[in-house]
Structure 1
Amino acid sequence: MRLKGDVLKQIRRKRGLSQTALSEGICTQATISLMEKQNRIPKMNILTAICARLDIPVDKIIENDDVSMTSQFDEISLLIVQEDYEEAEARLKKIKVKKLQNDFDKQRYYYLLGVLQVATGQVDEAIFNFELILTQFSTMSANIYWALTTVGMAMAYEKRGNEERALKFLQRAVTLIDEKQLTGGKRQWIIIYRNIADLYLKLKQPNDAMAIAGRGIDICREDLTMFLLSDYYQVTAKAAELLEDRATALQNFTIAKSLLLINGEETQAQAVQAEIDGLQ
């Protein structure tokens, strides 16, 4: 990531703020000076607070000049979503964590490692890596990886069989989302809501599962994407089953099946058809 100090300076002046006024209650005046003159990136909580005071999105003054790194993490994330854990692990092993240039990349690395470990049954290792993020990168709580990691902890404890602790972490993640202005891409929001909805379902909280799935469906509609959309309808259908709402379950399973067929995922569509047959 690269800070555009000249742009920050222009916006600050347009707002009629001195460096001291902009920094008040957030950081030191020297921090603002380093940002403007040397393009120095501060801690994420400082950066987001400054942008909030200037009423601008973070990406107004930050550009990602490490496209390849972000691309690698995005590809690994997608492989995990597709349950191609072997390839995801191989890609992750190619990344040398000691050579990562900033804390944000390290945060992403340990998050993906933890999620992969949960998926492959290495629960204790996953909890260790999630705790590493939540302690060492706590000042970066304004980005979505803070909430993603908290959901990861919930997933790990659910896998361990500690449903009470899993539910506490899950509720904490939802609170973070609702109360903090977390920065993150649309795909990350779709993934986190899918994971939360799915976990609520596993923890026998059908109403919460349906509510969160609804948030994910709204994002998919707004972004005109079908990414994980069938998953959301399946979660909604299964939640409706738990609530003994057969009509809603059938409706959502049918939508999910149609989406899977459109995407050419015939095997998954057959599995959903079996769910439909069981309700009819």
Structure 2
Amino acid sequence: MMNIEVFIKQRKAMKMSQTKIAAGICTQATVSKFENNGKVPSLNILNQLCSRIGLTVDDLYSDPEVSVVALRYQLDDIEDALMREDYRFAVKELKNVDIDKIEAPLYQMQFYYLQGMIRTLTNQKLADILFDFSRILDDLDEKHQTIFTQLSYLGSGILYLRHRQEARAKFFFNKVIDYLQQPLTVPEREDEKKFYLRRLTLIFFSAEFLSQQEELAKSNELIETGVQLCAAEHLTYYLARLKFLALTNAIVTNQPATDIQRLYQETLAFARLNRDVVTELKTASLMKKWQATIAD
């Protein structure tokens, strides 16, 4: 028996209205009749509606606790760990995800992005990482319409930077930076909160790259963009890391001690708020070095 409640819960979890999910596929009335009266639309329409929210039609016939809902929470937990730099947890949990059992393209893309990025940040084999990102760029999002394309570009840039292939790294980072300079619009199929968090991932790593390239003015512009996005959307995940990067740039450019102390306090406050132990330790180390230089 079809469990329509699985569809409704997933749509609401992705914060999509009936009108939004129906756009370009069918009428809002068709979705309403399906959800409220159990009138099932044609298989073609149902397939498209399910795909838009990361489901397959088969998911509507299975136990939500052991299917797509559980998978969504599992992948989101891994992505949260990635943003907190808790790579140990992310690596361990990713091993428990069976990619062969993921049918929805949305979650396939999330899986390959997470696997590629985690492998990149933990210095795994280059060939394996490039395969992960190519699954998105050349197959799952070959038209490059989702944010996972930009995240794959970002991962590729970080990968080449870590392998000291600077020209290739710049090629991919420039793609991401160009994307970030375009007007901000949330794609129809995206969960807004996830989209903004992923955009913050793009912003932070791009700002960090520009800082490493000694393009500090551009780096600071991106940092400010990220801070404003955090404030507008009430997101705190990246605030500590963005403030730490601003603190680093301030020290490098010999900003007044009062500005550096302010950024230091802000970084610590947000790190503690998010239980971001990594950033808290990095901040303490950076300030110790700075204080040693001004003491000399």
The 1:241/1:92 distance shift into structure 2, 3 A limit, reads same
Q: Is the 8 A contact 1:254 1:276 kept in 2?
A: no
Q: Which position in structure 2 is the counterpart of 1:144? A: 147
- The equivalent residue for 2:159 is 156
- TM-score (norm. length: structure 1): 0.73
Task: Sort the Cα spacing of 1:131 and 1:243 in 2 relative to 1 into closer, same or farther, 3 A.
Answer: farther
- Where does residue 93 of structure 1 map in the other structure? 95
Tell me by how many angstroms 1:78 deviates.
1.9
Cα distance in structure 1, aligned partners of 2:234 and 2:140? 33
2: CA distance, partners of 1:275 / 1:221: 30
In structure 1, C-alpha distance between the alignment counterparts of 2:27 and 2:83, rounded to whole Å: 41
How far off its partner does 1:152 sit? 0.6
Match of 2:215 in 1: 205
Query: 1:127 maps to which residue?
Result: 130
Cα distance in structure 2, aligned partners of 1:261 and 1:43: 39
Q: Given the alignment of the two structures, is residue 258 of structure 1 paired with residue 269 of structure 2, yes or no?
A: yes
- Structure 2 unaligned segments of length 5 or more: list them: 1-5, 12-17, 31-40, 55-59
Question: Kindly tell me: are residues 104 and 263 of structure 1, through their superposed partners in 2, closer, same or farther at Cα, counting changes over 3 Å?
Answer: closer
Distance in 1 (alpha carbons) for counterparts of 2:267 and 2:129: 31
Distance 1:214-1:273 versus aligned 2 partners, 3 A rule: same
Once the two structures are superposed, residues 92-148 of structure 1 have per-residue CA deviations (whole angstroms, 9 ceiling, x without a partner) of 121111111122211111111111111111151212321232111234533221111
Distance 1:74 1:195 in 2: 20
Contact 1:80 1:116 in 2 (8 A): yes
| RMSD of equivalent CA atoms | 3.4
2:178 maps to what in 1?
A: 175
Q: Give the length in aligned residue pairs.
A: 244
Distance 1:71 1:154 in 2: 28
Q: Cα distance 1:182–1:127, how it changes in 2: closer, same or farther (>3 A)?
A: farther
Relative to structure 1, the CA distance from residue 200 to residue 12 in structure 2 (aligned partners, 3 Å threshold; closer, same or farther) is farther
Separation of aligned partners in 2, 1:203 and 1:246: 23
- What residue number does 1:50 align with? none
Distance 1:261 1:82, change over 3 A: closer
1:192 to 202, 207, 220: 202
Task: Kindly provide the CA deviation profile for residues 192-241 of structure 1, in whole angstroms up to 9, marking residues without a partner as x.
Answer: 22222222223332222211111111121123332121111111122233
Higher relative contact order structure (alpha carbons within 8 Å, sequence separation ≥ 6): 2
- Separation in 1 of the partners of 2:149 and 2:22? 28
Aligned to 2:237: 227
Match of 1:166 in 2: 169
C-alpha change, 1:162 and 1:74, in structure 2 (3 Å) is same
CA gap of 1:138–1:7, structure 2 versus 1, over 3 A, is closer
Moved more, 84-93 or 181-190: 181-190
Partner of 1:80: 82
Residue range with higher mean Cα deviation, 145-154 or 177-186? 177-186
Counterpart residue type for residue 76 of structure 1: I
Change in Cα spacing, 1:97 to 1:219, as seen in structure 2 (3 Å) is: same
Q: Which residue of 2 aligns with 1:10?
A: 27
Equivalents in 1 of 2:261, 2:138: separation in Å?
44
Percent of aligned pairs sharing the same letter: 15
Amino acid in structure 1 at the alignment position of 2:134:
E
